[in-house]
Structure 1
């Protein structure tokens, strides 16, 4: 079999923070190492202590910050394609074939599976259609955080900051940017930059971004990137707190947080017209994120969110 040329490209859908799709970085070095049974593995990061050799002939393209990596295992007669999940929560992956010559793949691509937290999962096997002829292939691994089988429960979320008076700049179904599936039940709270952001519900920090410094409406120039914290809840739903202050994230992936704990400082990064906190609860619905309606309570009781309106809430 001719040397395979794997490639990993990753994307996330995360509310208004534009990580979709992630733009592949320059060609990254691929390493080869052998496990205790002498089986060859190919990947972008060899395990600690492995005697890895440079396999530059198998270079591929990847997002250098990718939380999920594609790994190939050489079984002699075929390759196995594995997804290694570095996130502290489940992730759904999809393996696609960009191009291939003289190969068959089982199961047929695109193929999906869910990989547990800090775990790995077999996504597919690549065989030569005719072992007497050289084969080649180019794979893409897409991923999305969350378990597609999650079923969110009714929960009383707390206000994600400490204010008695609350102003909502954009609520459920807001026409400016809350009109798609992943933001339909998002809430934009008008709060001054630097306001302490509190966890609306206990959970595990799944992802963070804290070093982006720009804001504005030019998606082409800035990509809509924003600083954010994503927290995984016990029922599989995920809360996104976005447009945070640069270097304003106060938690780390894998950290358990309690309801009301300070997790960040609000800001004005990403696709934003003014300082505010973007909050939304989402679930994975099969390689796509969807917002779910929630109930939220502040010092004066339950907040009532007007649809498609910029209306202060109390």
Structure 2
């Protein structure tokens, strides 16, 4: 049997990390100019640093075994948490999969076991196939309902105004952001984890922002996975100021980064949302913040959000 194989990657619903580079320009003692993507080892007079465009970095891969006649397929997941993957044929001729495709798989971090195998229907004839896949971060949660209140993601004894709440007409109209909150604050304001969890993603390298919709995917952000499968997203953060990294366990109230104005934004603020994977799509869900009296309160537009110390909350945020 001869199998001609192509693997197509669909990223429309994927969560893709990004990697940025800097360009360093300096003149050495001999007067020669140097251009490099690595910082100079010693201090250089007249050093110029230019931020380069961020390049996407893929973290989920569909891989094939070396077996030529009956190849097997598995997923490598480089996230610190689970992903859901949908795999299907985009082209098939004289082949079948065991188990059959299309099929959904939930993949924990690392390399999965064999997911399926390809066999020829008639081994005397040539075969051809192409496989496509797409993935979404997080385990599927079809009937999720939040029961845990969240710590305001700001320092205790600070206060900032909510400019856009649930169903905000400017940019909270899609499923990912319907239940998001925008909190106005100066660039460089400390951002704290609203709930304990594991850091899944850190986008720290975007440096542009404004009302041009081309910036929509260029907001620095941190995504934290909670123990019930939900994920908090902290977005529009400052360039290269993340205080956490993927795989790190964080506690509620821990400093994780600083606010900024990156991505699609009308001004410096923090965008906060709680999302789940529902039907192979990221969907935001309602949540409440804990107020200074220890009561759960739904965020409201124009309200002033006040920081609360985790020690005041007992076990409510675990």
Structure label with greater radius of gyration: 2
Matched, 1:133 2:133: no
Structure 1 match to 2:6:
5
Check 1:208–1:218 CA distance in 2 against 1; reply closer, same or farther (3 A cut).
same
Q: Is the 8 A contact 1:111 1:123 kept in 2?
A: no
Q: CA deviation at 1:70?
A: 0.8
Structure 1 match to 2:303:
312
Higher mean displacement: 203-212 or 171-180: 171-180
Aligned length: 265
From 234, 243, 257, the equivalent of 2:250 is: 257
Question: Deviations for 1:51-110, whole angstroms, at most 9, x for unmatched residues?
Answer: xxxxxxxxxxxx961111111124444222211111111111111323233322344433
Structure 2 match to 1:269:
262
Unmatched 5+ stretches in structure 2: 19-54, 306-318
Q: CA deviation at 1:231?
A: 0.3
Question: Deviations for 1:195-247, whole angstroms, at most 9, x for unmatched residues?
Answer: 1110000110011111011112323x445321110000111111010111111
Q: Is the 8 A contact 1:152 1:235 kept in 2?
A: no
TM-score normalised to structure 2 length: 0.76
- Residues 198-277 of structure 1: pairs in structure 2 closer than 5 A: 198-219=192-213, 221-277=214-270
Matched, 1:282 2:313: no
Unmatched 5+ stretches in structure 1: 23-62
Q: Is the 8 A contact 1:115 1:121 kept in 2?
A: no
Structure 2 match to 1:116:
108
Question: Matched residues in 2 for 1:153 and 1:122: separation?
Answer: 34
Higher mean displacement: 295-304 or 186-195: 295-304
Q: Is the 8 A contact 1:13 1:289 kept in 2?
A: no
